[in-house]
Structure 1
């Protein structure tokens, strides 16, 4: 390096270990959690953080590789030797480094931490790149009293570990203790090569308790989904009120099959739950419009939906754009449910997007939510419920901000009164 030449910045790589084997939940790492594959939550946070030179998933499974690439990550195919039940994370990370000599720092992010936010990763990257720490790991503060274990047959009493029983702390009077939460471990190459994930000049990063969600601990999947819906990271742009849902008819509202009678009349099937979902959306003040590439105008009246519909739509995005401008909405106020390649651009543009479980791969990649239900089998109703849950989150966050601002104004008023006494 010549005098005055800037030193190249150390290569910081995010690495998510996602083995195919799982004793508790088969293929847990790509099981849908709140409409997104589990590993997708942390990949979204890592990519949006913008601090990593590369984002990787280390896996031994074809389906996990496929999902990782859909979310924009690179894939390292780990060897069978480090894919066993007995294999450690450190062994898998060291193998990754042996194949990627360009990497100087590894940010090992756990796939089972779906409430991770980019802001956390940005701050940790600063700690290790700008402040000179060799390793940084995540912790959470807990207010739990510990007692010594008494094994069966031992003739002794338990002893308090972090409290005086004669003077128990109130929660508000005790700062609590820091525990590793397993969300991430950042370490420099030289430490990992010596067999350490934590060492050298160490620092911890304290995560907010509500963001410290570990699926290995939150065994009940529906409870974990509710926590993610409340505290998860949904993308760079803030959510807004949804005022329009546009739904593709073929493959979403229907199962995509066309039945032809002897007299050459077309028939389609739909799920009544989806009709209920559309009506619920309307009651919430959300307009629903339908779109199709083919002429299905003769079958629509039978559904009695009373929705504006555009058939023979050769350019769905242009139709969506015309509707959005006519109603006077921003893209963040538009939701879209599609299932085919022709829906991809609409899915990318909409503030909230979803696809049925049987949508094509490119549509799934573009969507923010993948339904558990297939097209024509309740997907519209499920997506409607997803919209309602996210809107509840928006309203809750808005109320919290109003409460904070109100409290600040009250405090400010009291300070002014004290100032003039």
Structure 2
């Protein structure tokens, strides 16, 4: 098992969110949304290497206030079409050049504020036990939402997966979706593959109650309700 010094937690937090403006520093029940991810990462006690990757001054201030280190990225690395994996790998390269030997790279996006320290350590334990090179956190999907999906072609709709899936839930296979809360990988494999969905891949299942991914005002209100519950 890699020592704590060989684990890197990267929190990519750009300032330019579109559907929910400034969401990473938006007040969520008394503190910036970003703070929840920083606190969970620090409470996991997996590593002293907890960094927020950002191009934004206000986000950098929040990161430092809540105990994370800050890695400044260029504005072009925070554009809409840049994967969140890119600044994480850039941070890894920077630290490797400084002499750190980092074997495991977490990507914890601040848009999953309900993910907690136990989720992070549980995912890490699952990753080590599995022997996989990649892990993503998941949550179970209602099989009707998945198998009864419709597709549209020239104004006409049809079943995406075919009529053979027109069954009651108990007869449909269990399916999961990545919830965006936790991604981790062996750095050598991640550098080669370029994202967290390479093989061998394992998954860490989380309850729906902690799997809200904040992209819209509605998602944000759902998080507020869960935290107030």
TM-score (norm 1): 0.48
**Aligned CA distance change for structure 1 residues 162 and 123 (closer, same or farther; 3 Å):** farther
Give the 5 Å matches for 1:256-267.
none
* Bigger relative contact order (CA 8 A; separation at least 6): 2
Task: Tell me what 2:159 maps to.
Answer: 158
Instruction: Give distance in 2, aligned partners of 1:86 and 1:157.
Output: 31
Residue pair 1:148, 1:161 contacting (<8 A) in 2 also: no
Instruction: Give distance in 1, aligned partners of 2:2 and 2:107.
Output: 25
Task: Tell me what 1:177 maps to.
Answer: 175
Give the 5 Å matches for 1:43-54.
43-54=38-49
Deviation at 1:186, TM superposition (A): 0.3
* 3-state SS of paired residue (2:212): coil
- Could you list the runs of 5+ residues in structure 2 that have no partner in the other structure? none
Task: Tell me what 2:73 maps to.
Answer: 78
* 3-state SS of paired residue (1:16): strand
Residue pair 1:46, 1:121 contacting (<8 A) in 2 also: yes
| 1:322-344 Cα shifts (integer Å, max 9, x gaps) | xxxxxxxxxxxxxxxxxxxxxxx
**Aligned CA distance change for structure 1 residues 196 and 85 (closer, same or farther; 3 Å):** closer
1:149 lines up with 2:144 in the alignment: no
| 1:23-81 Cα shifts (integer Å, max 9, x gaps) | 12332101111112101111111111111231110000111011011110011001123
Instruction: Give distance in 1, aligned partners of 2:76 and 2:5.
Output: 29
Task: Tell me what 2:16 maps to.
Answer: 21
Deviation at 1:142, TM superposition (A): 1.2
* 3-state SS of paired residue (1:150): strand
Deviation at 1:199, TM superposition (A): 1.9
TM-score (norm 2): 0.86
Instruction: Give distance in 2, aligned partners of 1:40 and 1:184.
Output: 16
Larger proportion of strand: 2
Instruction: Give distance in 2, aligned partners of 1:143 and 1:95.
Output: 37
Residue pair 2:2, 2:103 contacting (<8 A) in 1 also: no
1:63 lines up with 2:58 in the alignment: yes
Residue pair 1:143, 1:175 contacting (<8 A) in 2 also: no
Task: Tell me what 1:105 maps to.
Answer: 104
Deviation at 1:197, TM superposition (A): 1.7
**Aligned CA distance change for structure 1 residues 203 and 75 (closer, same or farther; 3 Å):** same
**Aligned CA distance change for structure 1 residues 74 and 149 (closer, same or farther; 3 Å):** same
| 1:280-302 Cα shifts (integer Å, max 9, x gaps) | xxxxxxxxxxxxxxxxxxxxxxx
Residue pair 1:150, 1:158 contacting (<8 A) in 2 also: no
| 1:155-199 Cα shifts (integer Å, max 9, x gaps) | x7435558643x4235xx656311111111101111221123222
Cα RMSD for the two superposed structures: 2.5
Instruction: Give distance in 2, aligned partners of 1:144 and 1:71.
Output: 39
Residue pair 1:60, 1:79 contacting (<8 A) in 2 also: yes
Residue pair 2:43, 2:117 contacting (<8 A) in 1 also: yes
Task: Tell me what 1:318 maps to.
Answer: none
